């Protein structure tokens, strides 16, 4: 049987993550959020959730940011950036 053409989910995930991070760094937060949420639907991923946390943090939506950082840490306890941001918010 011939393999169906089109993007594999893993490739699609990677593309969404990279584009989401690109738009985040370029301060286009709405677009970044859409792309990263799409990426998380394909695969729950610590980096995508962490970047979503940063988007909420920069918008001063701290409860949502904490939730994202906690989810990111549940998936990857070694993601120290998420730990640092979570601790900083909780200290407030």
Q: How far is CA 73 from CA 4, 29, 77, 83, in A?
A: 36, 22, 5, 7
Q: 85: Cβ–Cβ under 8 A, 6 or more apart, which residues?
A: 50, 53, 54, 57, 65, 69
Distance CA 83, CA 72 (A): 9
Cβ closest to another protein, residue 4 vs residue 31:
31
Candidates 51, 69, 71, 73; binder of another protein (CB under 8 A) is 51
Question: Does 74 contact another protein by CB under 8 A?
Answer: no
Question: Does 57 contact another protein by CB under 8 A?
Answer: yes
Question: Does 24 contact another protein by CB under 8 A?
Answer: yes
Candidates 7, 9, 11, 26; binder of another protein (CB under 8 A) is 26
> Do 50 and 69 form a contact (C-beta atoms < 8 A)?
yes
Residues that bind another protein (CB under 8 A): 21, 24-27, 47, 50-51, 54, 57-60, 81, 85, 92
């Amino acid at each position: 049987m011939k393999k169906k053409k089109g993007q594999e989910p893993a490739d699609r995930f990677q593309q969404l993550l990279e584009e989401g991070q690109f738009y985040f760094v370029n301060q286009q937060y709405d677009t970044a959020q859409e792309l990263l949420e799409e990426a998380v639907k394909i695969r729950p991923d610590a980096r995508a959730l962490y970047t979503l946390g940063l988007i909420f943090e920069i918008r001063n939506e701290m409860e949502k940011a904490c939730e994202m950082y906690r989810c990111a840490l549940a998936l990857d306890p070694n993601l120290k950036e998420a730990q640092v941001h979570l601790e900083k918010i909780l200290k407030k």
